[in-house]
């Protein structure tokens, strides 16, 4: 952007390297008045290469800019796959929700345990919603832009009012349990086919504050243990939610093991093992990438030119399938 015309714009660059996958470079112009409060956070003792966070590769200052080099997550966000989940069987929906919930909780746990100079920061992500939950082709859920958030400041609202906790909506002081509420709401929406909040933003805010959210057990009879977990996450009083994201992760992991322990791997989309990451990777391969390939065939677009850009990670196996279909 031209500095004079866009003095407060953030600049994004996609860097191509022959030695590693693409990375995202974010630059902030120094005239932005609030950048000291939001950026950079690379001085904090962040977990290095955490699988469920969009990791910071490098940060610093140069030529009048403060910059952050972030790992590029190569898959869609949860918002983009919601329609696929709603079309699955109830058991498949529950398994995928557990897989996403476990990885999402682990990422938030790493963020919540953030320290600086030996002191616990009580950091709050505050932006848990389907748009910020990215999926990688190797089966990871990653929270994006965790280094550029107003940690713990509820007045800086994120997109998606329906995922905000009641206290966050009212602009009150929030704790890490606000993230637990938001993750519970994300899982709730994945399992409820109809639009939970079909009205305006104001109607959505009032519904959350007035506790008008239908019970998950009403919307999904027989949901069982996962329903109990979601209900605990969505407790109106933060004291009634899970004590920490660590406790939430443990509960989700136990429920996942309970549901899948006797299932053959073929029923888990042919996953290599029963780990959440392996199951998510298998589902993405069988559902998202194969569908993209078959859609390309259906549209009669030259596969050799179109598909290599859409699904590079599975080109060899899909080329073989294409030859068989021919």
The secondary structure of residue 264, as a DSSP letter, is -
Strand partners, 23: 15, 71
pLDDT digits (tens, 9 = 90+) for 58-112: 766 666 666 667 788 888 899 888 888 888 899 999 999 999 999 999 999 998 9
Query: How much is the average pLDDT of 203-224?
Result: 83
Query: How much is the average pLDDT of 119-147?
Result: 87
| CA pair distance 32, 42, nearest whole angstrom | 18
Residue percentage of the chain with pLDDT more than 70: 62
DSSP string, 207-242: HHHTT-PPPHHHHSTT-THHHHHHHHHT-SSGGGS-
pLDDT of residue 275: 96
Query: How much is the average pLDDT of 186-193?
Result: 89
pLDDT grade, residue 213 (50/70/90)? confident
Q: What is the largest CA-CA distance in the chain?
A: 63
- Supply the pTM of this predicted model: 0.77
pLDDT of residue 293: 58
Strand partners, 143: 53, 133
pLDDT digits (tens, 9 = 90+) for 243-269: 999 999 999 999 999 999 999 999 999
């Amino acid at each position: 952007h031209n500095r004079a015309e866009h003095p407060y714009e953030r600049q994004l660059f996609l860097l191509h390297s022959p030695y590693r996958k693409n990375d995202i470079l974010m630059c902030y112009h120094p005239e932005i008045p609030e950048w000291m409060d939001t950026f950079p956070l690379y001085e904090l003792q962040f977990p290095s290469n955490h699988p469920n966070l969009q990791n910071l590769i490098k940060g610093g200052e140069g030529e009048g800019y403060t910059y952050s080099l972030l790992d590029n997550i190569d898959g869609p966000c949860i918002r983009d796959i919601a329609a696929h989940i709603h079309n699955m069987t109830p058991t498949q929906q529950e398994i995928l929700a557990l897989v996403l919930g476990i990885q999402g909780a682990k990422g938030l746990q790493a963020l919540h345990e953030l320290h600086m100079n030996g002191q616990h920061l009580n950091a709050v992500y505050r932006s848990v919603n389907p748009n910020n939950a990215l999926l990688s082709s190797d089966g990871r859920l990653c929270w994006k832009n965790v280094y550029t958030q107003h940690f713990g400041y509820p007045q800086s609202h994120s997109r998606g009012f329906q995922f905000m906790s009641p206290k966050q909506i009212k602009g009150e002081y929030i704790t890490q349990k606000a993230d637990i509420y938001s993750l519970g709401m994300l899982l709730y929406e994945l399992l409820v086919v109809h639009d939970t909040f079909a009205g305006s933003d104001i109607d959505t805010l009032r519904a959350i504050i007035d506790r008008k959210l239908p019970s998950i057990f009403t919307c999904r009879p027989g949901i069982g243990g996962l329903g109990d977990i979601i209900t605990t996450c969505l407790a109106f009083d933060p004291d009634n939610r899970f004590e920490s994201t660590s406790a939430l992760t443990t509960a989700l992991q136990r429920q996942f093991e309970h549901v899948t322990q006797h299932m053959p791997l073929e029923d888990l989309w042919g996953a290599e093992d029963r780990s959440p990451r392996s199951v998510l990777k298998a589902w993405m391969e069988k559902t998202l990438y194969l569908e993209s390939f078959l859609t390309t065939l259906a549209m009669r677009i030259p596969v050799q030119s179109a598909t290599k850009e859409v699904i590079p990670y599975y080109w060899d196996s899909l080329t073989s399938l294409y030859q068989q279909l021919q």
